[in-house]
């Protein structure tokens, strides 16, 4: 007798808790995007009329797909306790795109519209790369050390996120320091806030209320915020196509940020899907990477500039007993909130100095994660991988005048800052290999660094043959040095000839 099919509900009460847990994370990202981009000088028409609707389309498409995927798995295994994968904007990747793509593009072009188009093209390429990585994702994970990847991301977190936002925090000390105290107590000290309100929400409410109470906001800011309510249709745009031309002519260096952070994103998707498998729901990792890439590209077609991914929060939703309903609701709510300007209103009400301390914590968390998820013997590799972004931070702050401004400090600052993500990952990978006494592998990474320097992906302002010859030669010398120890190790491992 055939086993009767189990009913897999569209929505159940456990989906409500899971929805609010995911909603809080995504709403924070959307508000941070709006506040940060407005602070960079991007007009509201681009932020609320293009970027957020594009992001909402990506979130909606991905959540609806994963709800369908959960139903497919439930039918295949004939069980009703399947949880859909959580999906949204990748927080670490979001910050890298904000400060590693949008900000440099805005500073170098001086035009917000051009910078947005460049970022849309970069986002589209990121999605295409992740879709391709789905074919070789496991190979990348095996060969690129986690310490190098996370160390490079931690460098961005330390300089552009935690460091930059600490400056913003202290621009209004009374508000910034109070909000920072709330974040330290609630998120680091893990002490409950009054009425068990989530710490981030409590910090935003208290900080915003204090800002209006002491007159630290602009006159009419609160009432003007409601003017952002309106209708922002989800419409496709050709900005990604126009941006490709700009990206491959004047802003090709942006790809040195896009490629490694996309690989990081693909590997995180793999890790999160594998964590879900351990919790009881087995999804195809390669399919999920392809879906994340496709969702990112679809978002870019609608003006979005931020890659999307499977969240590790899925395991939390599994523990809550959620099904597919929370995923469906999440996609629908973000589409509606973005279309009718609710996120725009929130972003206009909340002062930057209130959100900045939360971003300091985000940066700290990314740095801490880089160390916590690696064995202690790899800490030097993580630390070394962080350093190139100090140079990148200084270089981007002075734009085209950087070479002249910082020449009295060191002539290497600008060169080190160019292609900093590649430099960080490859130097970190060499260090990991040496720590493991894999000198041949270290030599290979050094040769990659030499090749990247030769064609201008590192230490050069643009792509060209023989772009950074001194650096290319330096990395070749490193490769030879590592190769010497690789040969020494091979000789030591070779069995001695037996005597007569």
Q: Give the helix/strand (H/E) hosting 20.
A: helix 13-40
Give dist(CA 292, CA 286) in Å, integer. 10
Q: What are phi and psi of 309, to 5 degrees?
A: -160, 165
Task: Evaluate whether 248 touches 361 at the Cβ level (below 8 Å).
Answer: no
pLDDT at 445: 95
> DSSP for 307-356?
-EEE-TTHHHHHHHT--SHHHHHHHHHHHHHHHTTHHHHHHHHS-HHHHH
pLDDT at 463: 74
Number of residues that this document lists for the chain: 500
pLDDT at 384: 95
> DSSP for 170-238?
TTSHHHHHHHHHHHIIIIIS-PPPGGG--HHHHHHHHHHHHHHHTT-S-TTHHHHHGGG-S-------S
Give dist(CA 429, CA 447) in Å, integer. 12
pLDDT at 70: 92
pLDDT at 390: 86
**What tokens appear for 335 in the block?**
């589409």
- Other CB atoms within 10 A of residue 197 CB: 14
Local structure of 89: helix, strand or coil: strand
pLDDT at 482: 96
Give dist(CA 172, CA 438) in Å, integer. 50
Give dist(CA 105, CA 99) in Å, integer. 9
196 φ/ψ sector (left φ>0, alpha ψ -120 to 50, else beta): left
pLDDT at 478: 97
- Which residues sit opposite 87 in a β-bridge? 310
Task: Evaluate whether 29 touches 343 at the Cβ level (below 8 Å).
Answer: no
Q: Give the helix/strand (H/E) hosting 49.
A: none
- Integer CA distances (angstroms), 65 to 126, 251, 316, 425, in order: 20, 33, 19, 33
**What tokens appear for 410 in the block?**
């060191």
Q: What torsion do the CA atoms of 278, 280, 286, 287 make, to the nearest 10 degrees?
A: -160
Give dist(CA 251, CA 347) in Å, integer. 29
Task: Evaluate whether 45 touches 107 at the Cβ level (below 8 Å).
Answer: no
**What tokens appear for 192 in the block?**
């409950």
Q: What is the pLDDT along the chain (500 residues), one digit of tens a residue?
A: 456 777 888 888 788 767 766 766 677 778 888 888 988 889 988 998 899 999 989 989 999 999 999 999 999 988 888 889 988 887 778 888 888 889 888 888 888 999 999 999 999 999 998 898 888 766 766 777 878 877 887 887 788 778 888 888 898 899 999 999 998 998 788 888 888 777 777 888 899 899 888 887 777 667 777 777 888 888 899 888 888 887 777 666 677 678 777 877 787 787 677 767 777 888 888 899 999 999 999 999 999 999 988 876 566 678 778 888 888 998 888 888 888 888 778 777 888 788 788 778 777 877 887 888 788 999 999 999 999 988 888 877 765 566 677 777 888 888 898 888 789 889 999 999 999 999 999 999 999 999 999 988 889 877 789 999 999 999 999 999 999 999 987 666 555 454 44
Place of tokens 């590997």: 267
**What tokens appear for 40 in the block?**
């960079």
Give dist(CA 334, CA 173) in Å, integer. 33
């Amino acid at each position: 007798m055939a086993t009767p099919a189990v009913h897999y509900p569209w929505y159940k009460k456990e989906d409500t808790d899971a929805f609010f847990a995911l909603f809080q994370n995504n709403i924070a990202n959307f508000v941070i995007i709006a506040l940060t981009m407005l602070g960079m000088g991007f007009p509201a028409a681009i932020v609320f009329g293009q970027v957020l609707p594009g992001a909402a389309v990506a979130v909606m498409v991905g959540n609806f797909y994963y709800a369908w995927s959960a139903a497919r798995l439930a039918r295949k295994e004939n069980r009703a306790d399947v949880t859909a994968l959580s999906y949204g904007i990748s927080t670490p990747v979001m910050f890298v795109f904000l400060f590693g793509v949008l900000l440099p593009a805005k500073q170098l072009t001086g035009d917000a519209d051009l910078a947005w188009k460049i970022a849309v093209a970069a986002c589209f390429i990121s999605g295409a790369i992740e879709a391709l990585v789905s074919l070789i994702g496991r190979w990348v994970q095996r060969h690129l050390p986690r310490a190098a990847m996370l160390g490079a991301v931690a460098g961005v977190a330390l300089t552009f996120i935690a460091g930059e936002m600490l400056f913003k925090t202290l621009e209004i000390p009374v508000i910034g320091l109070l909000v920072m105290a709330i974040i330290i107590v609630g998120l680091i000290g893990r002490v409950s806030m009054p009425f068990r309100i989530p710490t981030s929400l409590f910090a935003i409410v208290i900080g915003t209320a204090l800002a209006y109470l002491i007159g630290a906001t602009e006159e009419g800011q609160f009432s003007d915020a409601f003017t952002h309510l309106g209708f922002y249709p989800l419409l496709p745009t050709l900005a990604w196509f126009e941006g490709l031309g700009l990206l491959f002519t004047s802003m090709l260096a942006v790809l040195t940020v896009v490629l490694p952070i996309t690989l990081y994103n693909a590997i995180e998707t793999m890790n999160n899907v594998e964590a879900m498998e351990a919790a009881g729901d087995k999804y195809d990792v390669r399919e999920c990477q392809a879906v994340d890439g496709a969702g990112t590209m679809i978002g870019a077609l609608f003006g979005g500039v931020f890659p999307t991914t499977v969240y590790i929060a899925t395991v939390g939703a599994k523990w809550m007993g959620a099904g597919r309903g929370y995923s469906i609701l999440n996609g629908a709510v973000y589409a509606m909130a973005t279309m009718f300007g609710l996120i725009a209103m929130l972003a206009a009400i909340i002062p930057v100095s209130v959100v900045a301390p939360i971003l300091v914590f985000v940066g700290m968390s990314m740095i801490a994660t880089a160390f916590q998820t690696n064995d202690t013997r790899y800490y030097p590799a993580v630390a070394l991988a962080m350093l190139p972004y100090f140079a990148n931070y200084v270089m981007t702050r002075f734009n085209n005048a950087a070479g002249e401004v910082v020449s009295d400090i060191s002539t290497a600052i600008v060169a080190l800052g160019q292609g900093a993500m590649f430099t960080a990952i490859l130097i970190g990978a060499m260090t990991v290999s040496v720590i493991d006494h894999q000198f041949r592998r270290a030599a290979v990474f050094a040769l990659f660094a030499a090749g990247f320097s030769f064609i201008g992906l590192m230490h050069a302002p643009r792509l060209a043959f023989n772009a950074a010859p001194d650096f290319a030669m330096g990395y070749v010398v490193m490769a030879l040095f590592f190769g010497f120890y690789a040969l020494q190790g091979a000789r030591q491992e070779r069995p001695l000839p037996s005597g007569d």
